[in-house]
Structure formats: structure tokens, C-alpha cells
Structure 1
């Protein structure tokens, strides 16, 4: 997707995707890697506060609203007729070395599947699954990494995405 380095972190609810991703991001930032992240939500998200000016402008019909302060900004874009596709979302990222995508398990991107024995869910491995992060040994066609050893997973990611 436009030459950007991306990797998906997928898995069922409760498999530890966000917990693992937080640790991976922290470790990669310590290695001076500029990280972007994209999280899929299965419900409508509301980032703006009712009654605030930006909310009122958006509700009045503005298709794009940017809320900005000295340290950050957020772009809210209405997509009522055509939901934003993954490529469009990835193209929004600038000046990052890698983009971690949480969710979007059906997308054709390299992904690491999070799996926990306690969930008792089947593995979801497709042609784009490059590894499974699990708390149990598994017999799979892809490498199995210890979900409780984020350093091991970061090393795998670095070898997969940044090998020279």
C-alpha cells in the first residue's frame, strides 16, 4: 500500500491484541522507530463532544472537521455513503516507519494472529498470516511466537519488515 510498511495484529476479542500492541509500540519507539497505529472499531465512534463548536460544525454538514491544539490534531471525516477502505486510511499516515493495524483480519496484509488458549477459539490463519502470537504451543504452518514475550515478537517484526 504505497510502499508503506504495515503489519496487522488480529485475533478474537479477548485475545490480547491491544495489550500486545501497546508493548510492541513501546519497544519499537525505544528503537527509534516512528510508529503509526490504526484501530478498527465494530461500532460507531464519536470523538467530538456534543455542544462544542467542532461538533456543531460537523453536525451542520461539514464533511471534514479538524480539531487542533498545540500538541495534536484530529481529523474527523464523515463517510456516510462509502465507508473508508483500508488503503484510504493507510494513505493518511505520513512520516512513520511502520503502521500497526489492529483488526481488519480479512484484509490482504501481513498479519500476526493473537491466540489465547482460554478463549477456546479456532485459529484464523490465511495466506497473509505471517505468525501466531500465542500462550500455548501450536502446530501451524507459520511461526508461533510467545504472546507474553513482546521482545521476541518485535525481533520477528524487525526481521520481517526491516531486513536489508
Structure 2
């Protein structure tokens, strides 16, 4: 069964920076994973003027763009925004799906926080750790946001047996 772990926090909290470093660490450890990135903006990965864009804009609800190096499935969801469960089902042959964003989702998560953001620390009952530049709470596991190796160890322990490191 694929496990899901969110890397959550407010904008500017270091989510993407941490995730990029975690990807390198987990890849080096042969962890099979995928990433879902949430966007609050209306995003488009297709380019106006390209055939795939024109076909989609003509009314195709789904289109796959494929080359010898990669492929992408584009699905229009104007009246039915995708939910995280459906997105996770799109992946195969992975042990872990890392999710950047979706902070309100009921998934296991590591919350990123930076004191310079001047925002209150966000966490909920699904938070298993906080990665921050300052230790703010004692009841949840805390990591220095720059200690990527220790955070990777924690994720790998969670992945293999739901146990946390001391």
C-alpha cells in the first residue's frame, strides 16, 4: 500500500526547498516515490500554439503529450476539482507519495515553519513532525529545517514501519 506524507506550511516556510533536498536524499536511499504539488493558481503546463494545447482547447477533456523522454496527462476539471485521493491513484510502482501543500488534508504531514514569516505555527492532529528554524512546541517531534538527513531518516522509518526515530 502506498503511503502518503505531506510537506505543508505557509508560503515562504521552506516547503519546496526542503522537498528538493529530501528528494535527493530519498532517491539516494532507493526509495520509490512520487510527488504531488498543489497550486493555488490556475496553472497550465501546455503551451498556446502547440498542437496539444489546441486539441485540448478544442474540447478534449484529457490529452497525453508524449516524447521519448517523458509523458504528461492533462485532464480538464472545470466543475470537479481533483481530490488528493484521486491524484494519488494516478501513480504506480511507488512506496511513498510526497505531497507539497494540501495542508488541510487529513494526511500524515511534516509542517514547515520559518520564524521570519511572522505567521503562527500551523499544525493539526495529522502532524507527526515540525521542520523549523525555531523550536516552538514540545508535544510534536521537531527537526531543524536544515537537517535534511535526520528528516530523511524519520521519513524512511515512517515508510518502513510507521515507527519514528528517537
State the 1:9 CA deviation: 0.3
Partner in structure 2 of residue 106 of structure 1: 104
Residue from 149, 152, 155 that aligns with 1:154: 152
Aligned residues between the structures? 162
What corresponds to 1:16 in structure 2? 14
1:28 counterpart SS class: helix
Q: Match of 1:162, SS?
A: helix
Q: What pairs up with 1:17-36 in 2 under 5 angstroms? A: 17-36=15-34
Cα distance in 2 between the residues matched to 1:146 and 1:40? 24
Which residue of 1 is the match for residue 43 of structure 2?
A: 45
TM-score by length of 1: 0.96
Indicate which of 70, 92, 96 corresponds to 1:94.
92
**SS in structure 1 of the partner of residue 161 of structure 2:** coil
Query: Aligned partners of 1:158 and 1:33: how far apart in 2?
Result: 8
Q: Deviations over 1:53-92 (max 9, x none)?
A: 1001000100000000011000000001110111000000
Q: How high is the TM-score relative to the length of structure 2? A: 0.95
- Gaps of at least 5 residues in structure 2 are none
Query: Which residue number corresponds to residue 67 of structure 2?
Result: 69
- 1:137 deviates by 1.7
The CA deviation at 1:163 is 2.2
Deviations 1:111-132 (A, max 9, x none): 0000111112111111100000
Match of 1:138 among 133, 136, 139: 136
Which is further off, 87-96 or 134-143?
134-143
Q: Distance in 1 between matches of 2:158 and 2:48?
A: 44
Q: Which runs of 5+ in 1 are unaligned?
A: none
RMSD of Structure 2 on Structure 1 (CA): 1.0
Per-residue deviation, 1:21: 0.2
Kindly report structure 1 stretches of 4+ aligned residues shifted beyond 2 Å: none
